[in-house]
């Protein structure tokens, strides 16, 4: 595995980090707890020591699964990245969307990052994860109802108490990052980034490079699409959000698969899968610190972790980039 520091902090994370959203089942058509625990353990055995989760992923389920998976591992050899600010059990802040929990019951998700709420959320996360500190604590989505200064003050308090080591944000634009940094030093921003979703290259990447902030690229496989396994007409399980996600519109699937066929010979030459080529490309992009990759079972987790063995030369990256010029972004 390769490890990188998060921005200017001394927190080192694995460049391939396990993303535990799908492992929690919610919005992905359910979870098989044992398989998810197995996937995390198999990743760890291959050097994926960092795990990203969130309370809202399965309404506690994902954090519990992560807690179970790391039980017995030396705590200082694992980096736990979790979040706050997406609430399902209160109604302050702004309603983000209506949803259903893993049992099919209706729930409403609110974006809320008020001070007392964060302090409470942190206690709940520590309990579910079975630990006494979180390595990176990130706001999940901006909360327009709470001043950023109040949110960061709460996180600063948690840092002073030793419950949190480093502060991060997700889905923040650069003005929100600047505002947050008036209250504390940010390690990172977690944002969507894949071969076919590159909006952050405009502002976030230059800002983070200039200010030495880490970028955690989420959904680098474009939620499975960039593995090449999804064909038009694909039937997703009930409750899987991808059935209505714009990246999975038939014309997009066709366009992305046409591109993937062009880079398939390169993958074959390297004895790699398309997904592995995609993950390596992602972590080679300027400003990208980590690829946060989701997996639902051991096979996927092992394949993703082994992407680290695939190497790409500057010419090969340039070749991929030329093919990408002809693909529509999602």
Ligand X SMILES: NC(=O)c1ccc[n+]([C@@H]2O[C@H](COP(=O)([O-])OP(=O)(O)OC[C@H]3O[C@@H](n4cnc5c(N)ncnc54)[C@H](OP(=O)(O)O)[C@@H]3O)[C@@H](O)[C@H]2O)c1
Query: Which residue's CB is nearer to ligand X, number 148 or number 160?
Result: 148
- Closest approach, Cβ 327 to ligand X, in A, equals 16
Give CA–CA dist 127/269, Å, rounded: 47
Query: Which residue's CB is nearer to ligand X, number 36 or number 131?
Result: 36
Query: Which residue's CB is nearer to ligand X, number 203 or number 318?
Result: 203
* Nearest by Cα to 70 from 126, 119, 140, 138: 126
- Closest approach, Cβ 46 to ligand X, in A, equals 13
Regarding beta strands 164-170 and 186-192, do their DSSP bridges make them parallel or antiparallel, or are they unpaired? parallel
Q: Which residues bind ligand X (CB under 6 A)?
A: 19-22, 52, 140, 170-171, 190, 218-224, 227, 229, 275, 292-296, 300, 303-304
Q: Which residues are within 8 A (CB) of 132 and not within 5 positions of it... i.e. 6 or more apart?
A: 126, 162, 163
Give CA–CA dist 308/15, Å, rounded: 9
Query: Which residue's CB is nearer to ligand X, number 56 or number 320?
Result: 56
Give CA–CA dist 18/248, Å, rounded: 23
* Nearest by Cα to 217 from 156, 132, 292, 308: 292
- Closest approach, Cβ 137 to ligand X, in A, equals 13
- Closest approach, Cβ 34 to ligand X, in A, equals 16
- Closest approach, Cβ 221 to ligand X, in A, equals 3
Give CA angle at 56 (148, 176), nearest 5°: 20
**Catalytic entry in 44, 57, 172, 193:** 57
Cα torsion 238, 241, 247, 251 to 10°: value is 30
- Closest approach, Cβ 71 to ligand X, in A, equals 20
Three-state secondary structure call for residue 26: coil
Query: Which residue's CB is nearer to ligand X, number 299 or number 315?
Result: 299
Give CA–CA dist 25/32, Å, rounded: 8
Query: DSSP letters of 60-99?
Result: THHHHHHHHHHTTS-GGG-EEEEEE-EESS---SEEEEEE
* Nearest by Cα to 215 from 135, 141, 134, 287: 287
Other CB atoms within 10 A of residue 74 CB: 8
Query: Which residue's CB is nearer to ligand X, number 215 or number 295?
Result: 295
Element (DSSP H or E) covering residue 294? strand 290-294
Asked if 57 is an active-site residue, the reply is: yes
Residues that are catalytic: 57
């Amino acid at each position: 595995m390769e490890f990188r520091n998060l921005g200017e902090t001394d927190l080192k994370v694995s460049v391939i980090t396990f993303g535990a959203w799908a492992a929690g089942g919610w919005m992905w058509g359910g979870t098989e707890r044992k398989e998810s625990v197995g996937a995390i353990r198999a990743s760890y055995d291959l050097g994926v020591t960092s795990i990203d989760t969130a309370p809202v992923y399965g309404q506690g389920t994902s954090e519990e699964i992560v807690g179970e998976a790391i039980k017995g591992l030396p705590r200082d050899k694992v980096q736990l990245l979790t979040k706050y600010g997406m609430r399902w059990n209160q109604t302050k802040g702004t309603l983000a969307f209506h949803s259903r929990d893993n049992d099919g019951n209706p729930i409403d998700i609110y974006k809320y990052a008020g001070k007392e709420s964060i302090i409470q959320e942190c206690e709940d996360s520590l309990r579910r994860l079975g630990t006494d500190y979180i390595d990176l604590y990130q706001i999940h989505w901006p909360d327009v109802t709470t001043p950023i200064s109040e949110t960061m003050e709460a996180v600063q308090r948690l840092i002073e108490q030793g419950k949190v080591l480093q502060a991060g944000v997700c889905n923040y634009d650069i003005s929100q990052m600047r505002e947050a940094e008036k209250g504390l030093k940010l390690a990172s921003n977690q944002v969507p980034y894949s071969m076919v979703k590159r909006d952050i290259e405009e502002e976030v990447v230059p800002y983070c490079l200039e200010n030495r902030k880490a970028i955690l690229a989420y959904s680098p496989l474009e939620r499975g699409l960039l593995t090449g396994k999804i064909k038009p007409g694909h039937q997703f399980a009930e409750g899987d959000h991808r059935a209505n996600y714009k990246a999975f519109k038939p014309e997009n699937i066709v366009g992305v698969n046409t591109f993937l066929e062009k880079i398939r010979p390169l993958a074959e030459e390297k004895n790699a899968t398309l997904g592995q080529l995609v993950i390596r490309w992602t972590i080679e992009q300027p400003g990208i610190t980590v690829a946060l990759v989701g997996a639902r079972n051991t096979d996927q987790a092992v394949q993703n972790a082994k992407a680290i063995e695939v190497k790409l030369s500057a010419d090969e990256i340039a070749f991929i980039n030329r093919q990408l010029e002809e693909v529509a972004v999602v």
